[in-house]
Amino acid sequence: MTQILMPKATAVWLVDNTSLTFDQIADFCELHPLEVKGIADGEVARDIRGADPIANGQLSRDELDAAEKNEKYRMKAQKSRHAELLKPVKKAPRYTPVSRRQDRPDAIAWFIRNHPEVADSQIARLLGTTKATIDQVRNRQHWNSAQIKPVDPVTLGLSTQLELDAVVKKAADKKAKDDARRGIVEPEGATLRPASEVDVVEEEDERERKTDLSAVFANSPKHEPEFDEDDED
């Protein structure tokens, strides 16, 4: 039997607009007869708007008329003309140009070193690679392990900066939620900062260090040279 779209909404419409029995409606919508009775009593699907199976091409008028004349008749659903439009579109695997495929291990190594929180499945989708290849790079079992160097995928032309940022952000958010669930608090300052901020902080630390040293020498007692009495002439 062809599976109909929106079975409960269809059952609501059939209950309200036809003289079909609960068993006929339940059989057509693949529901339990008691569930259809609950719809008729207003106890089930009270907020669901009815969907006309004739209008959306899942049921013919002839089938409905035949079922209303004979309570033992079981209606046969038709394939809806909207079914193809409502099917989820499966995303095709990411295509990587042949000239760039040898660069994927470098991008994988970059993720492993800099963003271990990113899942293998995310890396595989972004780079168009496989989990097996990721494991080989991680465990240094790849045939070209000696030549692999971590390089970010944007530089290699394997992804855009927006795609990379989205993947990293999604992984970071998931890690933060998992850590919060486990009661793990990230130490202050553990988040990576931009290089420009790091340089400024290092310069400030250096100035503070020099200032502290100057203060130490300024407050330290001066040592006068000591002379023996024998040296006084």
The H or E element that residue 49 is part of is none
What are the residue boundaries of the structural domains of the chain, listed by start? 7-86, 98-182
pLDDT at position 87: 54
Which comes out higher in pLDDT, residue 14 or 98?
14
- Which tens digit of pLDDT belongs to each residue from 150-198? 999 998 888 899 999 999 999 999 888 888 888 765 555 444 444 444 3
pTM: 0.43
pLDDT at position 213: 47
Average model confidence (pLDDT) for the chain?
78
And the tokens for 81? Answer: 């003309």
Q: What is the mean pLDDT of residues 203-217?
A: 54
On the question of pLDDT at 203 being above 80, the answer is: no
Closest CA to 119 of 182, 192, 168, 184: 168
The region of weakest confidence among 27-41, 48-62, 184-198 is: 184-198
With vertex at residue 139, the alpha carbon angle to CA 134 and CA 143, rounded to the nearest 5 degrees, is 75
What are φ and ψ of residue 143, in 5° steps?
-65, -20
On the question of pLDDT at 38 being above 50, the answer is: yes
Cα 3 to Cα 80: distance, rounded to the nearest angstrom: 9
And the tokens for 106? Answer: 């470098």
Residue with tokens 């990293």: 168
Cα 107 to Cα 119: distance, rounded to the nearest angstrom: 14
Q: Decide if 33 contacts 72 (C-beta within 8 A).
A: no
Cα 188 to Cα 181: distance, rounded to the nearest angstrom: 18
